[in-house]
Chain A
């Protein structure tokens, strides 16, 4: 079943077509990796999906509805959650406040408590998300004091606290220590049990290991799409991306 469908999606920045006429479909429950050289249009494409970047032309459909004109916050309400390429947690707030901001957004909507959300409910949601990423010990620390890899995990915890239908991760392993990558992949696999995942990634090993299907972009267009095994063999991909 299709969860997300873009049709002829285009974004023009001055004279450059960052994304050119892209029709892209995502199945419910899959883990999709997006690869491609710098400037291929990956971040712009997901930007149009989550609403950060308005498209110049084309449409985005999510869960059967046309969401092209929806604001980013309304897309979050429908379950599209984006985590940034550059870590942008609230550095001066505690980890608890960071995750609470995400959790209360979901809880005020689902429980109807608008001004006085029961503290126990909020705490439980925060603790659950922090436990999922293995940061329980750090909950009361100031976010900016965490090592970089943990800030990335905190960012994921904020995403999880929103209980997204589609979680978009932009370069999630960038800046992670080599030893942190395997546990991170485990986390993504566990998350995929309840969430569809779309991730942009430069680390080809991670993509081939984690993704159910891979989309290759180049110069604003989709160059190839397939299983990791197919993508590894694709001649155009080898030429354009693997560089052999």
Chain B
């Protein structure tokens, strides 16, 4: 129960700080919470099941385009578009899961990379629909909730919508990974052959992990598109596949709070270093190398072990 209290405290703290944050950081924290949903989704597959995907931009973009295209072409309202985005990500996850059903390790990495690149090129090729790398700028009607009209351009709406998604993703992943199902995912990461002989159809569990991971990533993409009113090809680019890997490695793969922590640190690292130099990726790169050298379990993983050793 203490673990749930800790996670609820993080959510409560994020709710509370919105009344004290300066406008600039307010926007940053909004983005970080959205990206953290992506990172949490990614970590279900990478950190817990042990499958390294280099194609999660596919799911993020599926969510973003599912929401953006339906809102733009069919005038879906924000709520319906969100549903369409999550549904599109679910569908893409199911199809991807079937394609990669028997692959693990390097084969899994290559196939996911290839599928995501194919999707990226498709967003450019079908530019009459997607408007290619120029992208679609959305102007959405407000959402009616309890008699109030919530304008998506309002920073407070952005912040709290992101917070709700973050809380759902965080608590869902925590519950999932402490359930019997999550224990099997961890067992697959540790020793798949042994897990099979304990009576588990491990390929089916990997499939389920991929679908959950992809759908959560798609939720992040759909919300990102709706709250910032834009979707373009860059959402499907390789960068959006490598970012969640960096976030989870930095924060710690084996800990539920690791990916959000890594997301926040990466975001501010890029933010601060880009103010110092135009070649800021050098600073980010050095920091990442340093962290993987000295904190191989990520920052949250290191902190957890430090506490365990102390007690």
8 Å CB contact of A115 from B179, B190, B202: B179
Cβ contact within 8 Å between A93 and B190: yes
Chain B residues with Cβ below 8 Å from A108 are 180
In the complex, A117 has a CB within 8 A of chain B: yes
Stretch touching chain A among B76-84, B191-199, B233-241: B191-199
**10 other A-B residue contacts (CB within 8 Å) besides A90-B191, A93-B186:** A73-B196, A81-B197, A82-B197, A88-B191, A90-B190, A97-B186, A101-B184, A102-B199, A105-B199, A115-B181
In the complex, A77 has a CB within 8 A of chain B: yes
Most chain A beta carbons < 10 A, residue from B187, B190, B200: B190
8 Å CB contact of B180 from A72, A90, A115, A162: A115
In the complex, A35 has a CB within 8 A of chain B: no
8 Å CB contact of B197 from A76, A104, A106: A76
- Name A105's closest neighbour in chain B (CB-CB): B199
8 Å CB contact of A105 from B179, B191, B198: B198
For the complex of A and B, the 10 pairs showing the least CB-CB separation, nearest first, are A76-B199, A105-B199, A104-B180, A90-B190, A73-B201, A88-B194, A73-B199, A117-B180, A72-B196, A102-B198
Alpha-carbon distance A108/B199, docked complex (angstroms): 11
Interface residue ranges of A151-189 to B (CB < 8 Å): 158, 162
Chain B residues with Cβ below 8 Å from A76 are 197-199
How far apart are B182's CB and chain A's nearest CB, in angstroms?
10
Cβ contact within 8 Å between A162 and B199: yes
Q: Can you list, as one digit per residue, whether each of A188-223 has a CB less than 8 Å from chain B (1) or not (0)?
A: 000000000000000000000000000000000000
Q: A73-B201, A76-B198, A77-B199 are in contact. Are A104 and B191 (CB under 8 A)?
A: no
Most chain B beta carbons < 10 A, residue from A72, A97, A117: A72
Chain B residues with Cβ below 8 Å from A92 are 190
In the complex, B183 has a CB within 8 A of chain A: yes
Show the binding face of B for A, using Cβ within 8 Å. Answer: 179-181, 183-184, 186-187, 190-191, 193-202
How far apart are B49's CB and chain A's nearest CB, in angstroms?
14
Alpha-carbon distance A77/B190, docked complex (angstroms): 22
Alpha-carbon distance A232/B186, docked complex (angstroms): 47
| Count of interface residues, chain A, beta-carbon cutoff 8 Å | 32
In the complex, A34 has a CB within 8 A of chain B: no
Most chain A beta carbons < 10 A, residue from B187, B193, B199, B201: B199
Chain B residues with Cβ below 8 Å from A102 are 198-199
Chain A residues with Cβ below 8 Å from B202 are 73
How far apart are B130's CB and chain A's nearest CB, in angstroms?
38
Alpha-carbon distance A72/B194, docked complex (angstroms): 11
Chain A residues with Cβ below 8 Å from B200 are 73, 105
Chain A residues with Cβ below 8 Å from B180 are 104, 108, 114-115, 117, 122
Cβ contact within 8 Å between A100 and B183: yes
In the complex, A50 has a CB within 8 A of chain B: yes
In the complex, A65 has a CB within 8 A of chain B: no
Alpha-carbon distance A162/B198, docked complex (angstroms): 8
Chain A residues with Cβ below 8 Å from B194 are 84, 88-90
Cβ contact within 8 Å between B190 and A158: no
How far apart are B205's CB and chain A's nearest CB, in angstroms?
10
Alpha-carbon distance A108/B179, docked complex (angstroms): 12
How far apart are A171's CB and chain B's nearest CB, in angstroms?
16
How far apart are B267's CB and chain A's nearest CB, in angstroms?
31
How far apart are A74's CB and chain B's nearest CB, in angstroms?
8
- Name A89's closest neighbour in chain B (CB-CB): B194
Chain B residues with Cβ below 8 Å from A93 are 186-187, 190
Chain A residues with Cβ below 8 Å from B196 are 71-73
Chain A residues with Cβ below 8 Å from B190 are 90-93
17 CB-based A-B contacts, threshold 8 Å? A72-B197, A73-B199, A76-B198, A82-B197, A84-B197, A88-B193, A90-B187, A90-B190, A90-B194, A93-B190, A101-B183, A101-B187, A101-B198, A104-B180, A105-B199, A115-B181, A122-B180
Cβ contact within 8 Å between A158 and B198: yes
How far apart are B283's CB and chain A's nearest CB, in angstroms?
34
Cβ contact within 8 Å between B197 and A52: yes
Interface residue ranges of A49-104 to B (CB < 8 Å): 50, 52, 71-74, 76-77, 81-82, 84, 88-93, 97, 100-102, 104
Alpha-carbon distance A217/B70, docked complex (angstroms): 68
Alpha-carbon distance A81/B198, docked complex (angstroms): 7
Chain B residues with Cβ below 8 Å from A117 are 179-180
How far apart are B175's CB and chain A's nearest CB, in angstroms?
9
How far apart are B216's CB and chain A's nearest CB, in angstroms?
17
- Name B176's closest neighbour in chain A (CB-CB): A115
In the complex, A120 has a CB within 8 A of chain B: no
- Name B181's closest neighbour in chain A (CB-CB): A115
Alpha-carbon distance A71/B191, docked complex (angstroms): 17
In the complex, A16 has a CB within 8 A of chain B: no
How far apart are B208's CB and chain A's nearest CB, in angstroms?
11
Cβ contact within 8 Å between B197 and A50: yes
8 Å CB contact of B195 from A52, A71, A82, A101: A101
